[in-house]
C-alpha cells in the first residue's frame, strides 16, 4: 500500500512551487474502513465500515474535524451519498439495488432496477426542481422524487439511451453520459433548479494511432471543470498527448482548443478558478487561467509542495514516518483527485487541500500586466491578491519598466476596479461567490450568441471576454448604487462651466465623506479590486519621492492613469490632480500645465487651485490659473482673500459686492490697504464699506481707520 518511490527531495519547504498542500492533512483512516467515498454534493468524505458510515465534513477544510458516524446494516457498499438535506443515506449495494436509510428514524427502504440486464452504474442526489435523486443505468437515466410520507421513491421521468459510463459533478449539476464503441459519444444533462436541460449530443476527439485502432475513452480521462461560473469538459487524448477542452452552453458544446500534456496520466483541480493540470507521471503542475482565451500556462511547470511540515529534529517518530510517507507518496498511485481542489491519499488515509501560492506565481512572471490581471481575478485571498497588486504596481514604477507596460498595468487595475463596482463585488465580494457557483452554464442570451457564432463558423471566442459572468441583478442594492455614484463619473460628457461651478462647493464635502468611507472598507477586504485613491496613496504618492529625478516618467503614468479612469468613468480624487500639477511644476512645464487645466484633464477643485497658487512662485500665469479656478468653483471667499493678497482690494470689493459675499471681514481689506501705505487705497476701501455695509460708519473699526487715514495723509502731502 505504501509507495516507496525514492522521490524524496521534492517537498523541501524552500523549494519553488506555485501550488502547495498544507500539513497536517485531514486524517480519515478508520479501522475496518472499506474504502473512501466522496460525496461532492455535501462535501463529505465518507469511509464506510461494515455497519457504519463515517463521514468528515471537508468544507470548510480543517484537519481536525471530527467525524460523524451513522449506523447502517451490513452488506456490500459500491457507493454512498447523503441526500442534500442530510436526512437520508443512500448506499448502492449492487448493480441492481440501492438502499436508503432515514437517519432520524433508522427506517430503510430499497429501490431496485426493474430488469436484470439493466444495471445501475451509479447515482447522485440533486436539487433539481423535478426530482431528488438520479440513477444512472446502462439503459439511461431514472429520475426519482423522494416521498417522505411513503418512505419511497417515485419515478418522475426516464431518459432512455445506452450508457457505458458517466461522470457527474455537483458543482456543475452536469451529468455526462458516454456511449458508443469508443465511449467518445456524449450526451449531457444539466439538472439545475431551473429544470432539466438536455445538451446536444457531441463527440470527443480521439487521435488514432493507425486506421484500424479504435482507442476507448476511459472515465478517468474526462473531467468536468467549473471555472468563473462556466462549465468545461477536459478530455485527455493519450495518443496526441493533448488535453482537449469543450465549453458547455445552454444549446451548444464548443470545442475550445487543446492544452499540451506531458504525462499520460492527468489529474485536474480547480483552485480559485485557476485550473491546475497535474502531470501525474512528471509530478508537476501546470496552471491555466482560462478566463482569457489564452492557452498559455500562467507559469512554468513546478512540483506540488507540502508546507508546514514539522521539522525533522523536533518531530516525534510517528510524525517523522508520516512525513516521509507523505513526501514519498506525492502523486502516488493511490492518490485520488476530488472536485474541485482536494486530493485524497487513499493509502494513508489523508485528505489534502490544494492551495495556490499567489506570491510565488506573481514573482515568477515578469509580464506584470498579465500577473495583475491574474491576481485581480482571485477571490479566495483578496487581501493578499490586493497587497501583491499594489506591490507589483509600485515596483514596476520604481524599477522604471518601459512605460507601455506600466500603462497596461494601471489599466488592468482600474478596469478591474470599474468592473467590480459595476457588479457590486467591490463592496460585498464574499456574497459574490454564491451567485457564481449556481452552476447554470450560461444565460440564454450568451448561449444564443455562441450558437450564432458557431453557425457562421467563427473560431474566435469572444463571449464574456470582458467580464466575470455574474448577473447584474444585484444592481438594485442601495449600497451598491451609492458606491457607484461615488466612484463613477456620471457626467461623462465634458462638464460645462455652469455645472462645474455649481457643484464646486459640495464636491469638497463629498470628497471628505468618501475618504472616511474608504478607510472603513479597508478593514474588510473582500475583493482584490483596488480603488483609485488607494492606488494613488500606496503607489503613486509613495513613489513620488523616489521619482523626483524622473518626474516626467511618473507624470506620463499619471496621464495614463487619468485616461484609464476616464475611459472607465471612474471619478478621481483631487489628490491625484494635485500630484500632476506638482510634477509639471517641478519640470517647469507651465505651458503644458495651462493646457491641462484649460482642457480640464486636471479637474478643477479647491485642492488643485491651492496647489496652483503654491507653485505660482515661479510662474505668474500659474497663479492666474489658480485664481481663475477659485472663481469658477465659486469659492468666493478664498478668491477674495487671494485678490487682497495680490493687492487688488478694489477688484476684490467689487467682486464681493457683486456676488454678495459677506463672510469677508472689512478689517481684512482695511489692514491690507493700510499696510500698502497708500491713503488713496485706504480711503477707497473705507468709502466702500461706508456705502455698502450698513452701520459700518458707527463701528470702532471705522473710526480707527479714519484716524489712521488722517495720520497718513499729511505725510504724503509733506
Partner 1 sequence: MGLSSAATTTLSEPLKFCIFDLRRGQHEGEELEKILFFFPADLPFPAQLSVVGLSEGLITFTRIFSPEAACEVIEAEMHSHVFFEAEPDIWMVMVVAKSKETEAIWRIEALRSVLKEIHSLFVMFHGSIRMLLDKEPGGGLIRGHLYTFIMDYLTDFLIGNKFLLPNFRDSLKERGTVQMLTVGREAAIEVQSLVGALDSCMANTLGYSVILFQDLLVSTTLTPDDTVNLFTYGTLRLTPRMLSSGGSTWSYLRKGSASSHAESASDRLHGLQDASSVRGDNYQIVRPLQHGKWSKGKDGFLVTDIWGVEVGNLVPTTPTIWLQQIEHKMYLCAYQHKGLTIILLIPVTSMLNGEEGISMLKQQLLENVSSKIYKVEEKLSKGWGGENAYHVKGYRYLLVDSDRNLSRASPSGKVTTLTKESLLTLNKVREDVDLERNRTKADDLEICIRAKNNSWVIAQAARGKQLYIVLEKANETLLYASEAVEKFSDRYCNGAFSLD
Q: Which residues bind partner 1 (CB under 8 A)?
A: 402-404, 492-495, 497, 552, 556, 559-560, 562-563, 566, 589, 591-592, 594-596, 599-601, 620-621, 624, 628, 631-632, 651, 654-655, 658
Cα angle: 329, vertex 332, 336; to 5 degrees:
115
Coil/strand/helix, residue 422 = helix
Cβ at position 403, least distance to partner 1 in Å: 5
Give the shortest CB-716-to-partner 1 separation in angstroms. 22
For the bound state, the minimum distance from the C-beta of residue 405 to partner 1, rounded and expressed in Å, comes to 11
d(CA 388, CA 376): 10
- 642: closest CA among 608, 651, 633, 687? 651
Of 77 and 557, the one with the shorter C-beta distance to partner 1 is 557
Nearest-angstrom CA–CA distance, 350 and 27: 5
**Cβ within 8 Å of residue 108, ≥6 positions away:** 73, 99, 100, 101, 102
Return the number of the residue (163 or 640) whose C-beta is nearest partner 1: 640
Closer residue to partner 1 in complex, CB, 381/411: 411
Residue number with CB closer to partner 1 (491 or 524): 491
| H or E element at residue 157 | strand 152-160
**Cβ proximity of 637 and 663 under 8 Å:** yes
User: Of 65 and 684, which has the nearer Cβ to partner 1?
Assistant: 684
Nearer to partner 1, 427 or 627 (CB): 627
| Minimum distance of partner 1 from residue 354's CB (angstroms) | 42
Region of residue 303 (phi > 0: left; psi between -120 and 50: alpha; otherwise: beta): beta
**Rounded to whole angstroms, how far apart are CA atoms 453 and 457?**
6
Task: Kindly give the residue spans of alpha helices, DSSP state H, lying in 587-635.
Answer: 590-598, 606-614, 620-632
Q: Which is nearer to partner 1, 261 or 562 (CB)?
A: 562
Minimum separation from the CB atom of position 612 to partner 1 (A): 14
Q: Can you tell me the distance from the alpha carbon of 613 to that of 97, in angstroms, rounded to the nearest whole number?
A: 86
Cβ atoms of residues 609 and 528 within 8 Å: no
In the complex with partner 1, the residue whose CB is nearer, 518 or 601, is 601
Nearer to partner 1, 597 or 709 (CB): 597
In whole angstroms, the minimum distance from the beta carbon of 547 to partner 1 comes to 15
Instruction: Tell me the torsion sign for CA atoms 174, 175, 180, 183.
Output: positive
The distance of closest approach from Cβ of residue 182 to partner 1 in the complex, given in angstroms and rounded to an integer, is 49
- What separation, in Å, do the N-terminal and C-terminal C-alpha atoms of the chain show? 117
Q: How far apart are CA 469 and CA 483, in angstroms?
A: 21
Nearest distance, CB of residue 500 and partner 1, angstroms: 10
CB nearer partner 1, residue 569 or residue 693: 569
Q: Could you tell me the smallest distance in angstroms from the CB atom of residue 460 to partner 1?
A: 20
CA distances from 456 to 293, 449, 450, 453, 675 (A): 19, 11, 10, 5, 83
Residue 279, strand partner residues: 266, 284
| CB of 657 vs partner 1, minimal distance in Å | 9
Smaller CB distance to partner 1: residue 219 or 489?
489
Shortest spacing between CB 507 and partner 1, in angstroms: 16
Here the contacts of 155-159 (C-beta below 8 Å, separation 24 or greater) are: 156/130, 156/131, 157/130, 157/131, 157/196, 159/189, 159/198
Q: How far apart, in whole angstroms, are the C-alpha atoms of residue 48 and residue 31?
A: 10
Peptide bond into 410 cis (omega under 30): no
Read off φ and ψ for residue 280, nearest 5 degrees. Answer: -60, -45
CB of 242 or CB of 403, closer to partner 1: 403
Maximum CA pair distance of the chain?
131
What gap in Å lies between CA 714 and CA 707, rounded to an integer?
Answer: 12
Q: Rounded to the nearest whole angstrom, what is the least distance from the CB of residue 677 to partner 1 in the complex?
A: 21
- Least distance to partner 1 from the beta carbon of 283, Å? 43
- Considering beta carbons, is residue 274 or 656 the nearer one to partner 1? 656
Amino acid at each position: 500500500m505504501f509507495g516507496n518511490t525514492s522521490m524524496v527531495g521534492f517537498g523541501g519547504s524552500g523549494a519553488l512551487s506555485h501550488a502547495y498542500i498544507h500539513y497536517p492533512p485531514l486524517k480519515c483512516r478508520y479501522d475496518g474502513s472499506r474504502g473512501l467515498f466522496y460525496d461532492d454534493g455535501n462535501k463529505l468524505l465518507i469511509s464506510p465500515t461494515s455497519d457504519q458510515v463515517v463521514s468528515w465534513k471537508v468544507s470548510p477544510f480543517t484537519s481536525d474535524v471530527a467525524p460523524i458516524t451513522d449506523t447502517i446494516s451490513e452488506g456490500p457498499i459500491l457507493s454512498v451519498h447523503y441526500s442534500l438535506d442530510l436526512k437520508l443515506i443512500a448506499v448502492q449495494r449492487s448493480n441492481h439495488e440501492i438502499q436508503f436509510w432515514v437517519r432520524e428514524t433508522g427506517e430503510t427502504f430499497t429501490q431496485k432496477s426493474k430488469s436484470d440486464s439493466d444495471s445501475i452504474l451509479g447515482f447522485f442526489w440533486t436539487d433539481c426542481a423535478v426530482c431528488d435523486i438520479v440513477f444512472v443505468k446502462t439503459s439511461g437515466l431514472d429520475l426519482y422524487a423522494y416521498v417522505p410520507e411513503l418512505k419511497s421513491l417515485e419515478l418522475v421521468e426516464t431518459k432512455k439511451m445506452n450508457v457505458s459510463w458517466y461522470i457527474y459533478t455537483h458543482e456543475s449539476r452536469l451529468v455526462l453520459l458516454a456511449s458508443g464503441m469508443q465511449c467518445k459519444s456524449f450526451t449531457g444533462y444539466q439538472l439545475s433548479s431551473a429544470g432539466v436541460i438536455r445538451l446536444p449530443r457531441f463527440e470527443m476527439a480521439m487521435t488514432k494511432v493507425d486506421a484500424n485502432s479504435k482507442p476507448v475513452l476511459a472515465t478517468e480521462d474526462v473531467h468536468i471543470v467549473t471555472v468563473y461560473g462556466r462549465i468545461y469538459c477536459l478530455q485527455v487524448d493519450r495518443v496526441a498527448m493533448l488535453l482537449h477542452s469543450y465549453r458547455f452552453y445552454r444549446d451548444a458544446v464548443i470545442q475550445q482548443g487543446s492544452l499540451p500534456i506531458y504525462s499520460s496520466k492527468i489529474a485536474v483541480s480547480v483552485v480559485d478558478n485557476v485550473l491546475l493540470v497535474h502531470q501525474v507521471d512528471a509530478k508537476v503542475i501546470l496552471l491555466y487561467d482560462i478566463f482569457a482565451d489564452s492557452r498559455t500556462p500562467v507559469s512554468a511547470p513546478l512540483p506540488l509542495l507540502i508546507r508546514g511540515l514539522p521539522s525533522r529534529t523536533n518531530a516525534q517518530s510517528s510524525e517523522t514516518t508520516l512525513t516521509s510517507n507523505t513526501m514519498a507518496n506525492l502523486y502516488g498511485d493511490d492518490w485520488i483527485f476530488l472536485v474541485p481542489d482536494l486530493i485524497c491519499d487513499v493509502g494513508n488515509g489523508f485528505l489534502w487541500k490544494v492551495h495556490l501560492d499567489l506570491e510565488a506565481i506573481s514573482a515568477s512572471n515578469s509580464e506584470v500586466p498579465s500577473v495583475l490581471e491574474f491576481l485581480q481575478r482571485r477571490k479566495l485571498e483578496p487581501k493578499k491578491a490586493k497587497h501583491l497588486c499594489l506591490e507589483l504596481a509600485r515596483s514596476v514604477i520604481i524599477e522604471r519598466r518601459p512605460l507601455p507596460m506600466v500603462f497596461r498595468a494601471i489599466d488592468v487595475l482600474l478596469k478591474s476596479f470599474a468592473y467590480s463596482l459595476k457588479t457590486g463585488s467591490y463592496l460585498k465580494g464574499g456574497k459574490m461567490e454564491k451567485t457564481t457557483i449556481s452552476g447554470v452554464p450560461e444565460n440564454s442570451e450568451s448561449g444564443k450568441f455562441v450558437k450564432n457564432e458557431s453557425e457562421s463558423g467563427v473560431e474566435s471566442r469572444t463571449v464574456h471576454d470582458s467580464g466575470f459572468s455574474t448577473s447584474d441583478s444585484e444592481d438594485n442594492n442601495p449600497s451598491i448604487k451609492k458606491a457607484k455614484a461615488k466612484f463613477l463619473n456620471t457626467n461623462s460628457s465634458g462638464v460645462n462651466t455652469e455645472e462645474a461651478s455649481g457643484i464646486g462647493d459640495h464636491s469638497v464635502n463629498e470628497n471628505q465623506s468618501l475618504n472616511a468611507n474608504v478607510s472603513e472598507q479597508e478593514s474588510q477586504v473582500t475583493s482584490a479590486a483596488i480603488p483609485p485613491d488607494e492606488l494613488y496613496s500606496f503607489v503613486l504618492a509613495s513613489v513620488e519621492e523616489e521619482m523626483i529625478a524622473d518626474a516626467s516618467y511618473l507624470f506620463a503614468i499619471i496621464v495614463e492613469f487619468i485616461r484609464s479612469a476616464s475611459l472607465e468613468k471612474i471619478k478621481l480624487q483631487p489628490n491625484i490632480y494635485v500630484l500632476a500639477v506638482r510634477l509639471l511644476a517641478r519640470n517647469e512645464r507651465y505651458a503644458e500645465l495651462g493646457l491641462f487645466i484649460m482642457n480640464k484633464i486636471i479637474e478643477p477643485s479647491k485642492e488643485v487651485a491651492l496647489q496652483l497658487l503654491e507653485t505660482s512662485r515661479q510662474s505668474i500665469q500659474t497663479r492666474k490659473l489658480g485664481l481663475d479656478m477659485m472663481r469658477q468653483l465659486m469659492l468666493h471667499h478664498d478668491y477674495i482673500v487671494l485678490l487682497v493678497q495680490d493687492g487688488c482690494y478694489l477688484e476684490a470689493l467689487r467682486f464681493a459686492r457683486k456676488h454678495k459675499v459677506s463672510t469677508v471681514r472689512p478689517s481684512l481689506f482695511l489692514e491690507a490697504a493700510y499696510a500698502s501705505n497708500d491713503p488713496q487705497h485706504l480711503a477707497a476701501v473705507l468709502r466702500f464699506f461706508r456705502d455698502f455695509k450698513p452701520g459700518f460708519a458707527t463701528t470702532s473699526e471705522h473710526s480707527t481707520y479714519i484716524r489712521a487715514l488722517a495720520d497718513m495723509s499729511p505725510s504724503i502731502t509733506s
